[in-house]
Amino acid sequence: MDESSLRSEIKALIVKELNLQGRDPESIGDDAALFGPPADGVPSLGLDSLDALQLAISLEERFGVPVPEGDEARPIFRSVSSIAAHVRASR
C-alpha cells in the first residue's frame, strides 16, 4: 500500500470508528492535529482520550500493529502522517 493510500485509509478509519458523521475523511489534513484545540494556525479535530483509546484499538485490529499506551502514544497520535509512519515502521 502506498503512502497516500495508507493515509486515506487512516482518515476513513478515524471518521468511521469515532463516529464523525458528516465529516469527509479527505477534509482531514495529513498534518492536522488530532487532539486538543487548534494552535498556531494548525487546525485540530479536537479528539479526546476516549477517542484515542478507540482509535488505538481500531488501528491494532485493522493494521495488526501494536499501539503503546499513555505518553508513549502521544507522538503517534499527533496527526494522520504520524499514525501512518507508525504503521509503516511496525509492519
Residues 24-40: pLDDT tens digits? Answer: 999 999 999 999 887 77
Residues 37-69: pLDDT tens digits? Answer: 877 777 789 999 999 999 999 999 999 999 998
Tell me, what's the pLDDT at 3? 94
Q: In whole angstroms, give the CA distance from residue 21 to residue 73.
A: 25
**pTM for the predicted model, two decimal places:** 0.92
CATH architecture of 3-90: Orthogonal Bundle (1.10)
Domain assignments of the chain as residue spans, ordered by start: 3-90
Amino acid at residue number 38: P
